[in-house]
Amino acid sequence: MTDLATHLAKLDTHLARFRSGGILNLIDGQDVAGDATFETRSPVDETLIAHVALGDAASIDRAAKAAKAAFPAWAAMPGDQRKALLHCIADGIEARAEEIALCECWDTGQAWRFMSKAALRGAENFRYFADQAPAARDGQSLPTPTHWNVTIRHPIGPVGVITPWNTPFMLSTWKIAPALAAGCTVVHKPAEFSPLSARLLAEICNEAGLPPGVLNLVNGVGEGAGRALTEHPDIKAIAFVGETRTGSMIMKQGADTLKRVHFELGGKNPVIVFDDADLDRALDAVIFMIYSLNGERCTSSSRLLVQDSIADKFHARLVDRVNAIRVGHPLDPATEVGPLIHRTHFDKVTSYVEIGRADGATLAAGGLRVGGEGWFIRPTLFTNARSDMRISQEEVFGPFLTSITFADEAEALRIANGVAYGLTGYLWTQDLTRALRFSERLEAGMIWVNSENVRHLPTPFGGVKSSGIGRDGGDWSFDFYMETKNTSFATGQHKIQRLGA
Ligand code: NAD
């Protein structure tokens, strides 16, 4: 098995060129340095990874114009040619998956055991949408006695993709692959805290033969490049993944140019464990869904709702397991939880330890910083929480679990739905009728019954309430990146009303 030292040596080789040349933007197929730069640092020890080109409104304008110029030819390319190209990109991702994962662990602090799989998921996203490309324009035939209606879809135009710092590579491909498959051109603004893997993706696309201007990369901060992208008149739609309050800002910023928006936002997802559940499997899933990927995961089950008849026993087992989670260097294959992305986020997550205590919940595990360097924190568990506490209501976005007990199904549902968010829900019960009844009433875009989050690409992905607008996955992605046109042909000599005759 590859060890930490080997990973570090390989990483060093991959980073050498970024250390000397910085991370550049890629616009119209060309490397572009910014007038200014910003730094990206590793959450492991705060060392400088590279200087990054700081894109501004002028860089976005250049990228949007390149995307606009490239759009007609890309949109007109036959779907099977786009399919072949996107498969070449997937080949490129697979060939460089190790490099992507190494860079991403170092840039984000998320552990190798998850990021190595996330890199390959990026390739799967490209392959899935590549295969859909030839049929993306297909429509329906809707005849009436007098008219024959036919629908066809057209790509909407150049689109902006704005992504966050958690699993940035996988999430970027989840947006960019369907946009390209649909025939859209793209300007990508990745998160300022994790720019490395977006650069690798742009390079891979370039090397695979994607025409210049089809995918443009502009790094920068939200209020600068991000804002400019959402306001640009040539950009027809914004696919955004990030915080709820940023989504709200983007909606306002895009109002003047009537942007179509697709939002994947925050969550405070419940995992509900009834006393008839398979408790061994439920325990594994509860732990996995909040402590994997550092808990910096929109679909994490950050609220445990456990039936009070089994709560003490379940909590005791949970505490033992949480205390045994291995916190360490993200490139160590043994590590289960790495450092949080950056200082501000570390401060936010740790502030909730004090908030939880002050509100009267019990700190049952974790809560402490690990070491004096980097943004490591022990996986944290609060029990005896009430649903109205801030640790039960607000998205902490770290390895931080709040447990609330419930007496019966009605109370569980009330607590589960009693938050602003509605992204996912996880339900543990052997009672099929209850599972059907409960999942029907649970306010969430995605629900798993007796399972952790297992994605199937043709299924819809997205949230309700403050967790998002719109769905990704399968054909839902194409609905966002394409316009549907209806053409109605008169089939006979139907009577037309004669005015003024
Ligand atoms: P964030 O909203 O701070 O930033 C996301 C992106 O938006 C970044 O690229 C940032 O530069 C940009 N941005 C910030 N302000 C902007 C503005 N005014 N105009 C345009 N762009 C702007 O989010 P984050 O902290 O990077 O990511 C964590 C959040 O993302 C969490 O809330 C998490 O739940 C959410 N998330 C949701 C999903 C989902 O599928 N629902 C998936 C992953 C992450």
Using an 8 Å Cβ cutoff, are 302 and 401 in contact?
yes
- Given a cut of 80, is residue 2 above it in pLDDT? no
Backbone angles phi, psi at 463, to 5 degrees: -125, 170
Query: Is 287 touching ligand 1 by the criterion CB < 6 Å?
Result: no
Report, as an integer, the average pLDDT of 450-454.
Answer: 97
Report, as an integer, the average pLDDT of 27-53.
Answer: 96
Residue 411 Cα to ligand 1 midpoint, Å, equals 32
pLDDT (tens digit, 9 = 90+) per residue, 310-355?
999 999 999 999 999 999 999 999 999 999 999 999 999 999 999 9
Distance between CA atoms of 445 and 442, rounded to whole angstroms?
A: 9
Query: Is 254 touching ligand 1 by the criterion CB < 6 Å?
Result: no
Q: What is the pLDDT of residue 1?
A: 57
Distance between CA atoms of 255 and 257, rounded to whole angstroms?
A: 5
Please report the DSSP string for 384-422 in residue order.
Answer: S--TTSHHHHS---SSEEEEEEESSHHHHHHHHH-SSEE
Helices 112-132 and 474-481 cross at an angle (nearest 10°) of 70
Residue 225 Cα to ligand 1 midpoint, Å, equals 14
Q: What is the pLDDT of residue 493?
A: 83
Q: 415, exposed or middle or buried, with CB in 10 Å at 0-12, 13-18, 19+?
A: buried
Residue located nearest, by CA, to atom 22 of ligand 1? 222
Query: Is 166 touching ligand 1 by the criterion CB < 6 Å?
Result: yes
Q: What is the pLDDT of residue 34?
A: 81
Using an 8 Å Cβ cutoff, are 353 and 399 in contact?
no
Give residue 458's identity as a one-letter amino acid code. P
Query: Is 185 touching ligand 1 by the criterion CB < 6 Å?
Result: no
Please report the DSSP string for 285-330 in residue order.
Answer: HHHHHHHGGGG--TT---EEEEETTTHHHHHHHHHHHHHT--B--T
Using an 8 Å Cβ cutoff, are 468 and 316 in contact?
no
Ligand 1: which of 110, 188, 227, 246 to mutate, most ligand atoms within 8 Å of CB?
246
Query: Which atom of ligand 1 lies closest to the CA of 245?
Result: 2
Q: Percentage of the chain surpassing pLDDT 70?
A: 100
pTM of the model: 0.97
Does 298 qualify as catalytic in the annotation? yes
Within 8 A by CB and 6+ apart from 255, the residues are none
Q: What is the pLDDT of residue 496?
A: 95
Residue 163 Cα to ligand 1 midpoint, Å, equals 6
Query: Is 105 touching ligand 1 by the criterion CB < 6 Å?
Result: no
Query: Which atom of ligand 1 lies closest to the CA of 461?
Result: 40
Residue located nearest, by CA, to atom 42 of ligand 1? 298
- Given a cut of 60, is residue 94 above it in pLDDT? yes
Distance between CA atoms of 476 and 174, rounded to whole angstroms?
A: 12
Query: Which atom of ligand 1 lies closest to the CA of 162?
Result: 9
| Helix, coil or strand: residue 46 | coil
Query: Is 473 touching ligand 1 by the criterion CB < 6 Å?
Result: no
Helices 112-132 and 79-95 cross at an angle (nearest 10°) of 170
Instruction: Please provide the distance, in angstroms rounded to a whole number, between the alpha carbons at the two ends of the chain.
Output: 87
Sequence length of the chain is 501
Query: Is 243 touching ligand 1 by the criterion CB < 6 Å?
Result: yes
Report, as an integer, the average pLDDT of 131-156.
Answer: 97
Query: Is 222 touching ligand 1 by the criterion CB < 6 Å?
Result: yes
- Given a cut of 80, is residue 280 above it in pLDDT? yes
Distance between CA atoms of 338 and 3, rounded to whole angstroms?
A: 16
Q: What ranges in 25-167 are assigned the alpha helix state H?
A: 57-76, 79-95, 97-108, 112-132
Query: Is 349 touching ligand 1 by the criterion CB < 6 Å?
Result: no
Q: What is the pLDDT of residue 229?
A: 98
Using an 8 Å Cβ cutoff, are 341 and 166 in contact?
yes
Distance between CA atoms of 337 and 266, rounded to whole angstroms?
A: 21
Does 184 qualify as catalytic in the annotation? no
Residue 246 Cα to ligand 1 midpoint, Å, equals 6
Q: If you average pLDDT over every residue of the chain, what do you get? A: 97
CA-nearest of 260, 256, 212, 221 to 237 is 260
For residue 19 the two structure tokens come to 């250390």
Residue that is written with structure tokens 């089994």 in the block: 310
pLDDT (tens digit, 9 = 90+) per residue, 398-430?
999 999 999 999 999 999 999 999 999 999 999
Among the options 192, 264, 296, 395, which is catalytic?
264
Give CA separation, 362 vs 152, 338, 393, 477, in Å.
Answer: 57, 24, 16, 43
Among the options 88, 103, 205, 298, which is catalytic?
298
Residue located nearest, by CA, to atom 8 of ligand 1? 191
